[in-house]
Amino acid sequence: MPIATDIRYQRADKVLHVAFDDGTVIALPAEYLRVESPSAEVKGHGPDQRKTIAGRRHVGIMEIEPVGNYAVRIVFDDLHDSGLFTWDYLAELGATHVRRWPAYLAALAAQGLSRDP
């Protein structure tokens, strides 16, 4: 399991930078984190319950709270704050960003939704 050694949020760019103990450094936009939140609101309670979250283009992060030695709880400025971002999940989001983001945009388009509020 990767372990996060440094987490920094660039408020101006709305990007979370995470460094791991294996030397990997990832940059995760706040909007991407919000729409890929591990919460039940987004993931549902099973694979067929996943929801496409629209209108989050301008979302930012208000707080990043440590949870033990394995995760953070992110409080977004749209007041979403459920779901724990484990080190594994953050690493997975970084590794799969190039696949997940286009899939998210395609899901928005297919449902007639927009990134804009």
Burial annotation 80-117 (CB, 10 A radius, 16+ → b, else e): beebbbbbebbbebbeebeeebeebeebbeeeeeebee
pLDDT, tens digit, for every residue of 34-73? 999 999 888 877 778 889 999 999 999 999 999 999 999 9
Residue of 4, 70, 62 lying closest to 33 (CA atoms): 62
DSSP, res 78 = T
pLDDT, tens digit, for every residue of 83-106? 899 999 999 999 999 999 999 999
Q: What is the band of 31 on the pLDDT scale with cuts at 50, 70, 90?
A: very high
| Residues 6+ positions from 68 with CB-CB distance below 8 Å | none
Rounded CA gap, 94 and 2, in Å?
Answer: 12
Specify the higher pLDDT residue, 48 or 22.
Answer: 22
Rounded CA gap, 117 and 57, in Å?
Answer: 7
pTM over 0.85: yes
Question: pLDDT value at position 68?
Answer: 94
Top-level class of domain 4-110 = alpha beta
Residue of 3, 37, 40 lying closest to 20 (CA atoms): 3
Question: pLDDT value at position 45?
Answer: 78
